[in-house]
């Protein structure tokens, strides 16, 4: 699926030479962050192919490999913002504004100049600007300082600001958030996650026998919750009677999602562990005949878009519950498991998503308002 070609119309933004500067935390890798970066680069490849796009990430080499099939002819990768944050917090101890305004950090000054010369400074969506990762607000301070120099437009889309931290995006020209709590925190309307930036809702492919897909994180959850998630997943798969050869385990964060597979390999089919590398490169097919059991937010989003049913398990109160409930509010139909490992849900009780065309259309309209004339 492709967007129709449209010449870039960013020349109405102040600044020179008119580049677009995207800031992300992609490169860990983490499926959600990589997916959002890919969505925006793909969109800009269609609507702004003649505009320089700088994608500022944690690990440019990793992101270069991840995005190799997205053909934006003027895409450049850097890790300027994370280097500045590290310098400000653990190196020179200079403020972000001082580093951006006055330079003097020769190892990445060229990157700061690119940031200062951009016409649009765009903070990509995700849940990385909040109290869980307070150091990330330094990168936002750098964006704000760069805009003070250039007059660039400051944009933030699809943000998840809960649990709230020191950054409230003051001074940004455009802000959208993906959940109700973040919207109430800023006093704005609720928007949508940036992963909804697809040309249209994909057709549902529901043919074939029911398959189960598992992904359970070990990060950001305590050992007791992790063990409870694993026990519940095993009990639920066995209760459904789905044979092992139709049970798959996938990774969202390589390594971090492997411990649950190690614990559940007895219910997963032989050869049906899909590491992150294969999951990404082979474009794992989200399908309507799947039933997911997962803690991962973007598996919930992508699965629901494809017509899959699912159950989500909530880690980290104040973060994951806010994220998953934001999708539930849109009508994904996925059940939320909050009980004991023996509190099982009948397969027939699981629902498919309602019409998700609204979020997709709204996200595309938001992008067009930012980057089309």
Do residues 335 and 350 lie in contact, with contact meaning Cβ atoms separated by under 8 Å? yes
| Cα–Cα distance, 37 to 72 (Å, whole number) | 13
Q: What is the DSSP letter of 55?
A: E
Q: Is the peptide bond before 275 cis (omega within 30 degrees of 0)?
A: no
Residue 137, token pair as written in the block? 């607000």
pLDDT at 12 over 60: no
Rounded Cα gap, residues 29 and 183, in angstroms: 28
Per DSSP, which regions of the chain are E strands?
20-23, 53-56, 75-78, 120-123, 153-159, 174-177, 211-215, 247-250, 273-274, 290-294, 309-313, 335-337
Question: What confidence score (pLDDT) does residue 18 get?
Answer: 84
15 to each of 21, 24, 148, 154, 344, how far by Cα in Å?
Answer: 12, 21, 11, 12, 57
Enter the tokens of residue 296: 């991962």
Mean pLDDT, residues 312-330:
95
Mean pLDDT of all residues in 56-61: 98
Cβ-proximal residues to 196 (8 Å cutoff; 6+ apart), any chain: 158, 301, 305, 356, 359, 360, 362, 363
Does residue 9 have a pLDDT over 90?
no
The answer to whether the beta carbons of residues 7 and 208 sit under 8 Å apart is: no
Both tokens of residue 204?
A: 């549902």
For the chain, report the end-to-end CA distance as a whole number of angstroms. 23
Is the backbone peptide bond immediately before 308 cis, with ω within 30 degrees of 0?
no
| pLDDT for the residue 373 | 59
Q: Is 206 left (phi over 0), alpha (psi -120 to 50) or beta?
A: alpha
Amino acid 282: pLDDT:
83
Sheet containing 153-159: give its strands across: 75-78, 53-56, 20-23, 120-123, 153-159, 174-177
pLDDT band at 5 (very low <50, low <70, confident <90, very high): very low
- Residue 71 is predicted with a pLDDT of 87
């Amino acid at each position: 699926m492709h967007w129709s070609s449209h010449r870039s119309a960013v020349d109405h933004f102040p600044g020179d030479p008119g580049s677009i500067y995207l800031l992300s935390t992609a490169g860990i890798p983490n499926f959600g962050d990589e997916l959002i970066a890919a969505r925006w680069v793909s969109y800009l490849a269609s609507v702004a192919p003649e505009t320089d796009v700088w994608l500022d990430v944690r690990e440019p080499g990793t992101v270069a490999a991840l995005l190799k099939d997205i053909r934006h002819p003027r895409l450049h990768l850097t890790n300027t913002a994370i280097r500045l944050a590290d310098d400000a917090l653990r190196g020179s101890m200079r403020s972000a504004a001082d580093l951006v305004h006055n330079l003097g950090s020769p190892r990445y000054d060229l990157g700061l100049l690119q940031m200062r010369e951009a016409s649009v400074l765009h903070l990509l969506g995700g849940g990385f600007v909040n109290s869980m990762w307070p150091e990330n607000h330094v990168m936002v301070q750098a964006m704000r300082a760069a805009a003070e120099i250039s007059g660039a437009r400051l944009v933030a889309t699809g943000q998840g600001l809960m649990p709230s931290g020191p950054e409230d995006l003051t001074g940004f020209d455009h802000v959208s958030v993906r959940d109700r709590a973040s919207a109430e925190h800023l006093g704005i309307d609720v928007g949508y996650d940036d992963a909804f930036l697809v040309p249209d809702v994909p057709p549902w492919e529901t043919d074939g026998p029911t398959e189960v897909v598992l992904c359970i994180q070990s990060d950001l959850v305590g050992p007791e919750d992790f063990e409870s998630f694993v026990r519940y997943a095993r009990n639920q798969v066995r209760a459904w009677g789905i044979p092992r050869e139709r049970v798959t385990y996938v990774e969202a964060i390589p390594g971090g999602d492997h411990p649950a597979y190690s614990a559940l390999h007895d219910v997963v089919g032989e050869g049906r562990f899909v590491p992150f590398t294969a999951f990404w490169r082979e474009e794992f097919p989200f399908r309507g005949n799947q039933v997911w059991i997962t803690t991962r937010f973007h598996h919930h989003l992508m699965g629901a878009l494809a017509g899959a049913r699912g159950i989500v398990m909530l880690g980290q109160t104040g973060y994951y519950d806010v994220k998953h409930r934001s999708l539930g509010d849109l009508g994904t139909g996925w059940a939320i498991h909050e009980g004991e490992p023996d509190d099982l849900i009948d397969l027939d009780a699981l629902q498919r998503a309602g019409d998700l065309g609204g979020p997709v259309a709204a996200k595309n309209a938001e992008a067009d308002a930012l980057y089309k004339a």
